[in-house]
Amino acid sequence: MRQVHICEVGPRDGLQNARHRMTTEAKKRWVSALAAAGVEEIEVGSFVPPKLIPAMADTEEIVRHALGIAGLRVVALAPNVKGFERALQAGAHKVTFPVSASRRHSEANVRMSPEQMVAQVKTCVEMRGASGPQIEAGIATAFGCTLQGEVPEDDVVRLAAQLAEAGVDCIALADTVGYANPAQIRRLFRRVRAEVGDKLEAAHLHNTRGLGLANALAAFDEGVRHFDASLGGLGGCPFAPGASGNVVTEDLVFMFEAMGIPTGIDLDRLIEARRILGEALPEEPLYGHLAAAGLPKGFCAAA
């Protein structure tokens, strides 16, 4: 009876910017442990050139492993048509495209303008066929950019409308560099929803400046029920200076469960998955308050 759906993005967003490499076998154990904890959707990797992000070189193999886990929705990122073709061949259930509202970030991240990315996404929508994967457009740097600075809200709304017209199934707003505050979250989600309706589905938030959970709650108040998060707060875009710290999955789950909002995720098993992560990357810093403090005495998860 989930009321909130959480997509674990650690195996992709978390590892792409990590200073240390996780082995393929460790990734498989981690993905399996996350699924065993009740995480229903995992972004397991990205189909980018390995020379650009070596940590994603084994994405095909991780997708194959994840597809063997019953009930798990397997997500992969693709930056262009070529990446989408690889995701199609691998059999991912859902493919997400990073479409930046910041022109400078778009050029640094995918070597294309936002308009060119919309054209790429439209091509992929047309080529997937009736039985192809769900296509999500994640509007990156929607709340600000370390390269460009301010990102006008009108640009975000316009980009969302273009992506909806291109035929994407769903849209996420991403605070790629952790600039957002709760008032901004409420305002922009409200504006974009007024433009594209229910196609606006998810929030991808970072905790770079400590406002991740506050921003998630503000998005929830605006009707958002799908959230990206990363175990241990790993993550960040390697092409956006200062983009660190995804919202911590275990802290996000705890917040909702403590509020009586079920996520379908077992916190004890989630902490066990964090232990596997820590053992696989012993020199990588992990973040989060729940893992340090533990569950409150007598805590009862939402039913």
Catalytic residue list: 237
| H or E segment to which residue 158 belongs | helix 153-166
Question: Sign (positive/negative) of CA torsion 192, 185, 229, 107?
Answer: positive
As a 3-state breakdown, the chain gives helix, strand, coil percent values, each rounded to 5, of 45, 15, 40
Other Cβ atoms within 10 Å of 37 Cβ, number: 23
Residue of 203, 231, 217, 220 whose CA lies nearest to 37: 231
CA atoms of 17 and 31, how far apart (whole Å)? 18
137, 105 Cβ separation under 8 angstroms: no
CA atoms of 39 and 72, how far apart (whole Å)? 8
196, 171 Cβ separation under 8 angstroms: yes
User: C-alpha angle 93/28/43, rounded to 5°?
Assistant: 35
35, 70 Cβ separation under 8 angstroms: no
